[in-house]
Amino acid sequence: IKFTFQVAGMLPNSPATTYRMQNNNAAAAKMWQNILKKDHTNFDARLKLAAFSKVTRDTATYDDNIAKLQAQNAEKTATFTKAFSQIDEIGKLDIQTKIPNDLSKDSHHYFVVLGYALSPNGKMQPTMKKRLEIALKAAKKYPKSKILVAGGVPENKLTEATVMQKWLVAHGIAKKRIELEDLSTNTVENALFSVRELVDKGATSATLITSATHMRRAFLLYQMAGDIVLASNTSKNDKAPVLTQVAYVDDKKILNNYGTPEKNAITDDVLRLNGVWQLPGLQR
């Protein structure tokens, strides 16, 4: 797998990056504005200023900077304005807490279980187990469905995917039903690598399984990854799977609340999915 590194107009230790990752959008915005005073053509700085102005509903700043971005590169800006609208729309996602009764009953359907950080000794933590418990019930309810476990961060020479596979097999799921995506190190890579695997395997539908606090972000990224994968796809399959979802409820409040911290996290990842990093030069 080939990874590329993108260097933008900000240093990795930029104060803007620090403020943004602390959810201090106002302070980050001032830093991006300072960068633009010195270099008004810095596309990434202006894009981030626009993106997080939209999160905080600063319509004037958003509109002004989108107009300037369009003047620089209309096609590229259109991609991001569409993405920003999708970030708004994902707030309306009805997060499912029970396994649906109307999923496809054939072998072209997959349950995609997103990993969670392992402990330093390679053991699963409670959040991962809760996700797997849903996957186990789902796999029994839909015996022809396959399972894709996703997560490649290693601890004690074990990846999240490997640990999840072992748990499922130990609880009665045939190993041949389980596919591994054990290269991803974050949700963006989860989406890109998993969707490519699903397309290559000819999956027609897929049900994401993760925590409620993670679901909107994961679901949107998987939707977007479908378009990206198909645009670069070399397999004979030309459709991304239709997505559904079911979540482990780790926070009931999140089900009916779509607040700024969550929008910040989703916006960060949507930018990353499209090649714009908070820490340029340090992330693969």
Q: What is the pLDDT of residues 118-128, one digit of tens each?
A: 999 999 999 99
Confidence of residue 14 (pLDDT cuts 50, 70, 90): low
Q: What is the pLDDT of residues 165-205, one digit of tens each?
A: 999 999 999 999 999 999 999 999 999 999 999 999 999 99
pLDDT value at position 30?
94
CA gap 14, 10 in Å, rounded: 6
Confidence of residue 18 (pLDDT cuts 50, 70, 90): confident
Exposed e or buried b per residue across 268-281, where buried means at least 16 C-beta atoms within 10 angstroms of its C-beta: bbbbbbeebbbebe
Q: What is the pLDDT of residues 207-266, one digit of tens each?
A: 999 999 999 999 999 999 999 999 887 777 789 999 999 999 999 999 999 999 999 999
The residue extents of the domains of the chain are 1-92+258-284, 109-248
Calculate Rg over the CA atoms of the chain: 20
Confidence of residue 6 (pLDDT cuts 50, 70, 90): very low
Instruction: Name the token pair of 5.
Output: 């590194």
- DSSP letter (8 states) at residue 235: S
Sequence-distant (≥ 6) Cβ neighbours of residue 229 within 8 angstroms? 192, 195, 196, 199, 240
Confidence of residue 274 (pLDDT cuts 50, 70, 90): very high
**Mean pLDDT on 45-65:** 96
* CATH architecture under which domain 109-248 falls: 3-Layer(aba) Sandwich (3.40)
CA gap 108, 145 in Å, rounded: 7
- Name the residue among 193, 188, 192, 189 with its Cα closest to residue 179: 193
- Name the residue among 98, 110, 103 with its Cα closest to residue 206: 110
Does residue 58 register a pLDDT over 60? yes
Does residue 9 register a pLDDT over 70? no
pTM of the predicted model, to two decimals?
Answer: 0.92
| Distance from chain centroid for Cα 125 | 21
